Structure 1
Amino acid sequence: MAVSTPICDFGWKAVDFELPGTDGRMWRLADIRGPKGTLIMFICNHCPYVQAVMGRILRDARELQELGIGVAAISSNDATTYPQDSFEEMKKEAERHGFTFPYLYDESQDVARAYGAVCTPDFFGFNADLELQYRGRLDASGRQPAGPDVRRELFEAMKQIAETGKGPQDQIPSMGCSIKWKQG
């Protein structure tokens, strides 16, 4: 079932965390934070929405990193119910796609709850002061292949944040599979 993200809560401060990465090290928000902003993405391995846009996520992340934006992806899904989202499978996914950013495992799901993440993909774009400025979609394509003229909404918003510290007022929510919460 597809779910959509809530409207951007401008100025909401990023919550610190410490999570293991597929690269074998522990990561905190301060390690990821970029001089011009930070993008935290909640994704997972199995979600068809994420898989459909993976190439564009990788392209945009790489280009945003070149602009001084720190980038990380977090998977918070229950790996007991969805074994393809296990930490071992995350390592394979990061290697297969050549992630240029840390891919972090939120096994307790505490970070997803702290951020209010609801779906995969769910994008949180912060300015240099770690104030939320973007909570929208990657682009208009959803699960479809992107046409040559599709607007790169996430990239454009994060570029604006890097340049001005402020995100666009008009944002269209991201849509994807719900976070797979643990039972109980």
Structure 2
Amino acid sequence: MPDKKTIEKARKDKREGKSPSTQAGEFVHEEIDKVRRGEHGARSTRQAIAIGLSEARRAGVDLPPPKKGKVKESTRESAEYAYEVGQGERKPKRRPKVSKAVSEVLKHEPKNTASHAALSRQTKGAASRRTAQERSAAAKKAAETKGASSRSAAARKAAQTKGASGRKQAAKKAAETRSHRPS
């Protein structure tokens, strides 16, 4: 069961006009944290992500299940069921004994699947399967939904991480933009 904070963060993302996958990201983050704390385990990084996406669907995030042929049929059916529950199209079956048994088994699964290195490998692999055009479109949409203050903060952070040369370049650019403003 997701925390109230996680559900509220996802709702905030929705109000800000962010995509369903971004809203679902809050649930994935929570699942990764659970694995790291040892409350859950996962055989792979993908499994941890899938559990987070399932919780997002059940919580009502408008994240449609994957299309036929993209994933295993049983995975797709499970996602479809979670989506219908979240959209209020069906009542969830209560199976607490199975749920408890599953969570006990998950506790004994490896925890290193949620390590920074494992998540980095998963992210790079997922990005490499997308075209440059798709990645570019996603970045443009992210910039649109970020807001001016967040963009400004991101630019400052980027300048800091570049080091002294980055700070000089950022200062130079800022001076140029001030001098080009109409009076």
TM-score range, shorter chain: under 0.3
Which structure has more strand as a fraction of its residues?
Answer: 1
- The TM-score, its normalising length taken from structure 2, stands at 0.27
Q: Which has the larger radius of gyration?
A: 2
Which structure has more helix as a fraction of its residues?
Answer: 2
